[in-house]
């Protein structure tokens, strides 16, 4: 049947009426009158779909309306997409409404590819069965689908060989067989797929060597065959793949040398070939890969010196050459890699001094040169003002600890197992973000500086195996993980926490400042609020204030800030047709929300407390709370309160109107959810984090929202997020009762609240974690929340929990952000409140995170995120 076929004329044949309905999607009316019915093919196709039993028995329905099926005008199947819409599926097919969400979650039982008669579907262009619980093997007949452009069978349980007939699919542009249990060799026929741009065979059990024919795939931009058991050399023909952007051959058993032809891959952005048994030198041609951003050659047996040409990779952000046999000195040219954030040279045979050019790496955040033979640190190391993680352990460092003391951003410092001597410098006390310090196995002497206890975040301190003397400072009791063994210290090793003096005395943590702030800032606010509350709730009189308030003769007060027109209860009644249901845009625990257009044209949102509830003291309190909170807080990601109205029959709050409603509703509507792309979602999560960080850390006393949920995150017309609904929020006075009965939304409440009933900021942190996960998953994480800490999550890949309705992100920047959101969310969901990060920390991570991420999305599991075993610095508490 020709693709641009001539007819839909079978519409007029009664026998084909059923099939006629099929045409609804793509009817070209100008063709309706042409002749020649070709319904027989579509009959065969219907039979093939029926016989597969993938959709059960559908004899009464038309096969083109089945979930995930799209037909052409003639009723012939062109798309079978039950999996996630993968990236680059190009011209997106518009599904008819009944098949709006064609995802495998609707297929409950395992399906076999073999049960479909593929030869009956000759017009198939796209086959997407990603994460569809497929079992069995890939049948040879798949090769008959000559029009196929996209084949996604990733994340199933497919076994057996990749059929060599795959080479017949010459129209194929995307081939993804990753995360299955396919074995045997990569068929050399793959070289015939010259239109292929994306090849992903990640995480299978493929063996044999990489066929040199792969070099014929000159249109490839992504190739990932990591996580197999491929052996033999990297074929030099790989140099012909000049369009390649991403090359991932990591975690195989490839041996031999890295071919110098690799230098021809001028467009390459990321190269991961770590975790193999490659030997010999790093080819100097590597210097030609000037577009490279991520380079990972770690865990091989490379045994040259680091070629000076490496300095030409000026765009490099991460470089991992660790766990090899690289020798010689570190070349000065390393200082030319000024974009570098992550540099890992651990476990090699590098000698001598670190070149002073290292001081030029102003962006560097992680530097790991542990387990080498380095004997000197240049003072220029002190210029690395962004450094957070420094490990120089297991080297031959000699002399005093000097330049490190000025690295004020350091969180992790490991200088253990060296030959350092002299005192522990007092200046270390100024590295105020330090969380983990290991100076063990050196020759340090003198006393432990008592000021170390000023390091508020310090949790792990190891000073063992030195020559330290004097008394053990008792205030070290705040350090969770303390090792002072094998020194000449006197006194008791303090037990963690139990015999610690009260926090503020021991830790000099600006208690006075807090008190002062409370007095200076919050006192006037409280006075003002008390005044306001009194004025508004008790006294039905207009106030002469900045606030324009107005008393109407029936006793109502409407106060609308910065509103130029006059507004009264009756205007509101008019604008909402007396609170007609048509204007209602949502109902919450405390009331209903209406959209109202004021006489001036301005649109506002009204939250009207339910009539009866308005008389309940609890709701009256909630109303006051909200007014009180919102009059004070001013943040770009917190909803603005325009004012409020009180009336003898009802009361309501007047807000900035949020055109796109709540995040909750947005994520539940398929069409909306698709509009909410990855970058928008990341921005939503960041906005919530910034707002909460403001409430917790910039407000004095801190404000705990207590009811963060996707219902309370509202979106404006630009899909920017705003935190709303402060009905249950409260100021967290350090001395007043934290206890309360009503707070939070089921599914978002921190587990400890159930038994402690104590509200802390960490409750919000937990709820934030839930909302953040929900935002990237597109649905409430549900049971995943409780299973995060169990080993069963070991097998769940991040890519599998991301919202199925969006194509997986490929842009490394976007991937990096998604991973960061997931990492932060998971850290916030820790069952122990103490182990959750503060919102300040979370928002700092979001702000400082500027660049891309090195691990391909397809390789990240939730467990890795949980353990924070990622390429970047770990999340510390
Ligand atoms: C119908 O298809 C023909 C060619 O296939 C095209 O030129 C014409 O614009 C189409 N008409 C409509 C209404 O889509
Ligand atoms: C598959 O369908 C073709 C017709 O398209 C038919 O010739 C063949 O016998 C079928 N194969 C099986 C195994 O049913
Ligand atoms: C590729 O697809 C086009 C149209 O989609 C088709 O005409 C052509 O025959 C296909 N190529 C092969 C080798 O089958
Ligand atoms: C490859 O794609 C081009 C268009 O991008 C097409 O013209 C060509 O026929 C395709 N090659 C094969 C072998 O299908
Ligand atoms: C690949 O693995 C299969 C078993 O799965 C084995 O029979 C075969 O010999 C292996 N081939 C190579 C080249 O190692
Ligand atoms: C690679 O390993 C194979 C055995 O797996 C061995 O026969 C071959 O000589 C090795 N090649 C090189 C270059 O080391
Ligand atoms: C590097 O390793 C290879 C293979 O193990 C060996 O042949 C070569 O001599 C080594 N080169 C150096 C400089 O150590
Ligand atoms: C450096 O690489 C090694 C080996 O891959 C790894 O274990 C270590 O955690 C890395 N260092 C840092 C700071 O990421
Ligand atoms: C520490 O050791 C150095 C020699 O490394 C010595 O000069 C100094 O006096 C010692 N200081 C103390 C307090 O023991
Ligand atoms: C409030 O919470 C803090 C820390 O969570 C706790 O130390 C304090 O005792 C609590 N206050 C009351 C009255 O429960």
Residues 691-744: pLDDT tens digits?
A: 999 888 887 778 888 888 998 899 999 999 999 877 666 655 444 444 444 456
- Residues above pLDDT 90, as percent of the chain: 38
Band the pLDDT of 188: cuts 50, 70, 90: very high
pLDDT above 90 (res 413) = yes
Between the CA of 202 and the centroid of ligand 7 the distance, in Å, is 30
Indicate the SS3 state at residue 730.
strand
Find the mean pLDDT for residues 36-44: 66
Q: How far is CA 53 from the centre of its chain?
A: 37
- β-pair type (366-368, 389-391): parallel
For the segment 535-564, the average pLDDT, to the nearest whole number, is 36
Return the H-helix or E-strand segment holding 609: strand 603-609
CATH 3.50.50.60 for domain 661-874: no
- The mean pLDDT of 204-228, rounded to a whole number, is 94
**Angle of the 678-693 helix axis to the 761-777 helix axis, nearest 10:** 170
DSSP E strands, 617-686:
641-646, 651-656
Residue 139 pLDDT exceeds 70 = yes
Q: Which atom of ligand 9 is nearest to the CA of 446?
A: 13
Q: What is the pLDDT of residue 593?
A: 79
Cα 715 to the center of its chain, rounded Å: 20
Closest residue to atom 2 of ligand 2, CA basis:
120
Measure 168 CA to ligand 4 centroid, in angstroms: 13
Q: Cα separation of 213 and 209, whole Å?
A: 11
Q: Pocket around ligand 8: residues whose beta carbon is below 6 Å from it? A: 298, 322-323, 344, 346, 366, 368, 389, 391
The answer on pLDDT for 623 being more than 80 is no
Closest ligand 2 atom to 120 CA: 5
607 is in an annotated binding site: yes
The per-residue pLDDT for 110 is: 75
How many helices and strands, by DSSP H and E, does the chain display?
17, 46
Tell me the pLDDT band of 782, cut-offs 50, 70 and 90: confident
- In this prediction, residues 108-135 reach a mean pLDDT of 86
Q: Among 231, 254, 255, which residue has the most ligand 6 atoms within 8 Å of its CB, making it the best to mutate?
A: 255
Asked if residue 135 has its Cβ within 6 Å of ligand 4, the reply is no
For residue 71, the SS3 value is strand
Distance CA 743, CA 728 (A): 6
- The confidence score (pLDDT) of residue 522 equals 32
Q: Average of pLDDT values for 518-541?
A: 30
CA of 282 to the centre of ligand 6 (A): 18
pLDDT-based confidence at 643, cuts 50/70/90? confident
Q: Which CATH architecture has domain 125-278?
A: Alpha-Beta Horseshoe (3.80)
Q: Whose CA is nearest to atom 7 of ligand 5?
A: 184
* Domains 125-278 and 568-656 are alike in CATH topology: no
Question: What pLDDT does 698 receive?
Answer: 82
Residue spans per domain, the chain: 125-278, 568-656, 661-874
Atom of ligand 5 nearest to the CA of 208: 13
Q: Residue 458 — very low, low, confident or very high, per pLDDT cuts 50/70/90?
A: confident
Residue 269 CA to ligand 4 centre (angstroms): 26
Q: Structure tokens of 127?
A: 């086959």
Q: Which ligand is nearest to the CA of 253?
A: 6
Per-residue pLDDT reduced to its tens digit, 247-264: 999 999 999 999 999 999
Q: From ligand 5's centre to the CA of 226, what distance in Å?
A: 18
Tell me the pTM.
0.67
CATH code for the part of the protein at 568-656: 3.30.200.20
Q: Are strands 69-71 and 77-81 parallel, antiparallel or unpaired?
A: antiparallel
pLDDT of residue 384: 92
Per-state percent for the chain, helix, strand, coil, to nearest 5: 35, 20, 50
In testing the pocket of ligand 1, which one of 7, 25, 27, 30 has its CB within 8 Å of the most ligand atoms? 30
Q: Label residue 580 by pLDDT band (50, 70, 90).
A: confident
Q: What is the pLDDT at residue 849?
A: 59
> What pLDDT band is residue 650 in, cutting at 50, 70 and 90?
low
Active site residues: 707
Q: What is the pLDDT of residue 591?
A: 67
In DSSP notation, 468-485 reads EEEEPPGGGGG-SEEE--
- Whether 430 shows a pLDDT value over 70: the answer reads yes
């Amino acid at each position: 049947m020709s693709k641009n076929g001539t007819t839909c004329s079978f519409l007029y044949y009664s026998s084909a009426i059923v099939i006629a309905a099929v045409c609804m999607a793509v009817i070209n009316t100008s063709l309706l009158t042409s002749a020649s019915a070709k319904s027989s093919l579509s009959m065969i196709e219907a039979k093939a779909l029926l016989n597969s039993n993938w959709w059960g028995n559908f004899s009464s329905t038309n096969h083109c309306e089945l979930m995930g099926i799209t037909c052409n005008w003639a009723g012939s199947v062109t798309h079978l997409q039950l999996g996630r819409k993968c990236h680059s599926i190009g011209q997106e097919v518009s599904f008819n409404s009944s098949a709006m969400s064609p995802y495998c979650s609707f297929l409950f039982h395992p399906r076999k590819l073999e049960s479909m008669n593929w030869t009956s579907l000759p017009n198939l262009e796209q086959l997407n069965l990603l994460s569809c619980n497929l079992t069995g093997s890939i049948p040879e007949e798949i090769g008959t689908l000559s029009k196929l452009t996209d084949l996604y069978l990733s994340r199933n349980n497919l076994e057996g060989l990749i059929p060599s007939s795959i080479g017949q699919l010459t129209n194929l542009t995307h081939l993804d067989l990753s995360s299955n249990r396919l074995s045997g060799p990569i068929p050399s026929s793959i070289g015939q797929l010259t239109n292929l741009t994306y090849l992903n065979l990640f995480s299978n059990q493929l063996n044999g060597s990489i066929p040199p024919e792969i070099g014929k795939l000159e249109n490839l931009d992504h190739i990932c065959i990591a996580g197999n058991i491929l052996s033999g050399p990297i074929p030099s023909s790989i140099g012909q793949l000049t369009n390649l952007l991403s090359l991932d051959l990591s975690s195989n058993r490839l041996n031999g040398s890295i071919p110098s032809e690799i230098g021809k891959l001028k467009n390459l952005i990321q190269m991961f070939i770590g975790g193999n048994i490659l030997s010999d030198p790093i080819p100097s041609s590597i210097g030609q890969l000037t577009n490279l951003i991520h380079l990972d050659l770690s865990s091989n047996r490379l045994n040259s010196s680091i070629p000076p040409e490496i300095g030409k990779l000026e765009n490099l952000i991460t470089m991992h050459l660790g766990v090899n046999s690289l020798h010689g000195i570190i070349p000065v040219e390393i200082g030319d890699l000024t974009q570098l954030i992550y540099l890992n040279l651990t476990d090699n045979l590098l000698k001598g001094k670190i070149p002073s050019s290292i001081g030029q790496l102003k962006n560097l955040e992680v530097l790991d040169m542990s387990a080498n033979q380095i004997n000197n640190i240049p003072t220029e190391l002190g210029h690395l003002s962004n450094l957070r993680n420094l490990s120089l352990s297991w080297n031959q460092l000699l002399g005093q600890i000097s330049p490190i003391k000025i690295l004020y951003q350091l969180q992790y410092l490991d200088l253990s197992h060296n030959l350092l001597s002299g005192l522990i410098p007092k200046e270390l006390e100024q590295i105020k973000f330090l969380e983990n310090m290991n100076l063990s196995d050196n020759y340090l002497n003198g006393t432990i500086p008592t000021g170390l206890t000023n390091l508020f975040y310090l949790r792990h301190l190891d000073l063992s195996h030195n020559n330290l003397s004097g008394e053990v400072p008792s205030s070290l009791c705040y350090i969770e993980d303390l090792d002072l063994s094998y020194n000449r210290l006197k006194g008791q090793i303090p037990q963690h926490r139990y015999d610690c003096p009260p926090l503020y005395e021991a830790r000099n943590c600006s208690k006075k400042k807090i008190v002062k702030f409370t007095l200076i800032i919050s006192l006037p606010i409280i006075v003002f609020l008390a005044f306001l509350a009194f004025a508004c709730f008790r006294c039905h009189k207009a106030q002469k204030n900045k606030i324009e308030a107005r008393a109407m003769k029936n006793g109502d007060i409407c106060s609308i800030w910065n509103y130029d027109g006059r507004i009264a209860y009756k205007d509101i009644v008019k604008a909402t047709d007396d609170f007609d249901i048509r204007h209602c845009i949502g109902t919450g625990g405390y009331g209903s929300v209406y959209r109202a257009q004021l006489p001036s044209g301005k649109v506002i949102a009204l939250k009207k407390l339910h009539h009866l509830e308005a008389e309940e003291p609890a709701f009256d309190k909630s109303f006051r709370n909200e007014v009180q909170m919102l009059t004070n807080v001013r943040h770009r990601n917190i909803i603005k309160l325009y004012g409020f109205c009180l009336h003898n029959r009802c009361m309501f709050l007047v807000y900035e109107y949020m055109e796109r409603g709540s995040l909750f509703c947005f994520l539940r509507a398929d069409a909306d959810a698709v509009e909410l792309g990855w970058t928008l979602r990341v921005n939503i999560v960041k906005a919530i984090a910034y707002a909460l960080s403001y409430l917790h850390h910039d407000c004095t006393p801190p404000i705990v929202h207590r009811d963060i949920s996707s219902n309370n995150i509202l979106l404006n017309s630009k899909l920017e997020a705003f935190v709303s609904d402060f009905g249950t929020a409260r100021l967290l006075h350090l001395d007043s009762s934290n206890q309360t009965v009503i707070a939070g939304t089921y599914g978002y409440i921190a587990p400890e609240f159930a038994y402690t009933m104590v509200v802390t900021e960490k409750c919000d942190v937990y709820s934030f974690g839930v909302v953040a996960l929900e935002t990237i998953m597109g649905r409430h994480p549900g049971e995943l929340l409780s299973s995060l800490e169990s080993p069963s999550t070991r097998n769940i890949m991040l890519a599998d929990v991301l919202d199925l309705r969006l194509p997986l992100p490929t842009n490394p920047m976007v991937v990096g952000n998604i991973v960061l959101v997931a990492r932060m969310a998971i850290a916030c969901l820790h069952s122990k409140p103490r182990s959750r990060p503060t919102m300040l920390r979370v928002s700092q991570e979001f702000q400082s995170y500027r660049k891309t991420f090195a691990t391909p999305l397809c390789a990240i599991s939730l467990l890795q995120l949980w353990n924070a075993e990622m390429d970047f610095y770990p999340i510390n508490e």
